[in-house]
Structure 1
Amino acid sequence: MAFIISFDLDDLLIPGIKRFPVERNYLWHRLFSREKIRQGTISLIQALRARGCRIYIYTTSYRSPAYIRRLFFPYGIFPKKIINKTLHDKILGERAHRISKYPPAFNIDIHVDDAPGVGIEGECYHFPTIIIGEDDLHWVDTVLQRLSDHAAQQTDKGAKQ
């Protein structure tokens, strides 16, 4: 089943406070961005694309969509949509100050993040999340398994209706 899946940036795909292994970075990459991406990101995005998923980036940072596209371009990753703090605030209006992420506003089926608080928001506001810890060395498998579980749940719901 193809989904729209969004990924957080800081401390999930890009090391910040949290540290984890990163993809190999050549001079070519450094021409586009000083930031590196988490090891496994390329293979995960390729696997998701093979399943027909559309990839979005959903971040609370103010980085511009153009900058974020340049960050991923050298790795062959082309997100279909970039949602930064500016767009989040514009679309959610007053609600933007009460919730850090709200994927349903952007037709996102499932959101991947590192912050347990986003998982709590998902429970409160009824949107599915996959929360990844910095020490999860098998995070790619975690995402793929949870996505498969989510697809099975959606299939079960459809069969019951």
Structure 2
Amino acid sequence: MQQITKQEKAQRLEKLAWILDSVIPIPGTNWRIGLDGLIGLIPGVGDISAGAISTYILYQALRMGVPTMVVGRMLLNIVMESVVGVIPFFGDIFDFAFKSNKRNVELLREYVDQPDTVKRRSTFTVIITIVGFLLVLGLLVWGMFSLIAALIHAL
């Protein structure tokens, strides 16, 4: 059995990302949409299904030995598209525009070409995202307790 190189795997994943994000041209524009966005239009299960399909690229990145922080950044792209995608109408527009699969394959390609640079950038992005998430979570918890305290005090 012939071994395929990381470059060849990246090329195959680029084709998959193109199908998922850009296969269908919109007449009269430079915009393209893909199956990922169309699947996301299915009420209830579309965004979850599209997110699950997107994890195949993530799985292949893990098999290629991509570092955890780069995979984490790829996962953030999928989660962002999946979470925002559930918002009616706006989420569907976001799905068509964000193109997480294309972003993830670009990260993978950059990692294959310049591993240290991508690893550093991804580490920074993941850390900033986690810190931001924790800050928002902390503010929500503080707000909830403040509201409860105000309600108790008012009674």
TM-score relative to the length of structure 2: 0.29
More strand by share: 1
More helix by share: 2
Structure showing greater radius of gyration is 2
